[in-house]
Amino acid sequence: MNPSSYIQLEKLGEGTYATVHKGRSRITNEIVALKEIHLDAEEGTPSTAIREISLMKELKHPNIVRLYDVIHTETKLMLVFEFMDLDLKKYMDAHGDRGALESHVVRSFMYQLLKGTAFCHENRVLHRDLKPQNLLINKRGELKLADFGLARAFGIPVNTFSNEVVTLWYRAPDVLLGSRTYSTSIDVWSAGCIMAEMISGVPLFRGRDNNDQLTQILRVLGTPDDTTLRRIQAESPEIQLRPFPRVARISFQSLYPKCHPFATDLLERLLKFDPSQRLSCEDALNHQYFQSDARIAAQQTTNQAQQRQQQQDQQALAQQQYQQAQQQQYMEAQIQAQQYAAQMAVQQGSGGSYNYQ
């Protein structure tokens, strides 16, 4: 398709390398999100955009925003995504009690967040920038991961990555310490921070810089023992450990006394200082916190989203087949017209040679 296939509506947001508009397909009339990448004449397409496109084409899941189309011209690169109504931050501001969400909503959103992230990890992809602004929600209560600009495919052994990832408040302590050999555990940490924020309405750790962020974490988790610190350094030799002030741990149950113990237990297991001790997304999904009607409801939401996605795929295929059939009919009509014209020319030529004498 080309850019004229979509009608650009109001602006939804603008980032470092892209502007996002609401749009409408001229062909299907479907509302979409149009992400226009800012192209530099000398540098070309940003690596973040190339990374996002390559990953999004592979990641098809009900809890990951769907990439419909990619339009590349000399002057612009436009990604066409499914439209979502708002991000989790705006949802909390609009629907929460001072930002805090009801317990059943937290469970449903957390379940969907972990499902989408688990799928990424199963496909060897780290998101690396999970935060409320990158989690999108629609009117059906479906939560989907978005903005894979910082995502990276990872292999075995784990590659060495930059530690300039994840917005500061959702950044894992091992990354704050300088680790560049991290893996899926950094997304798990971010998910735990997001869960705490949905429960309370405010970010759990609100540091001003890397050092202050680490201090905020220690005030809750307490100072890790020497054995834990040595294990972290052994896994990430680039970390330069320094003496930490001795701080006592505060339990999440005391931080959030109104929370069900299952919820605070899950938080404890997601937000471990030692990355090797954090739950995987799959293990988190099997936690007793989700063994209830809330899990069934969240799973139903995911199943319904999957069914809708399949219907959209079928509609897109039908639309493609219809267009191909129309094109085929047009070509056949053209050929028939040409054949008819050729026949008429032959007949006229033959008629001109008749001898009426």
- Joined together, the tokens standing for residue 323 give 């267009």
Q: 39-45 long-range contacts, Cβ below 8 Å, gap at least 24?
A: 39/75, 39/76, 39/77, 45/72, 45/77
Compute CA 216 distance to the chain's CA centroid, rounded to the nearest angstrom.
Answer: 27
35 is in an annotated binding site: yes
**DSSP secondary structure code for residue 280 in this structure:** P
Does the active-site annotation cover 129?
yes
Per-residue tokens: 130:
């999970």
Q: Which of 40, 69, 87, 129 is catalytic?
A: 129
Cross-strand partners of 72: 77
Tokens standing for 64?
């990951």
Element (H, E) at 144: strand 143-145
The contacts of residue 321 (CB under 8 Å, 6+ apart) are none
Q: Report the alpha-carbon distance of residue 315 to residue 240 in Å, rounded.
A: 55
CA atoms within 13 A on the CB side of 16: 7
Q: Any idea which residues carry the catalytic annotation?
A: 129
Residue list for the binding site: 35
Residue list for the binding site for ATP: 35
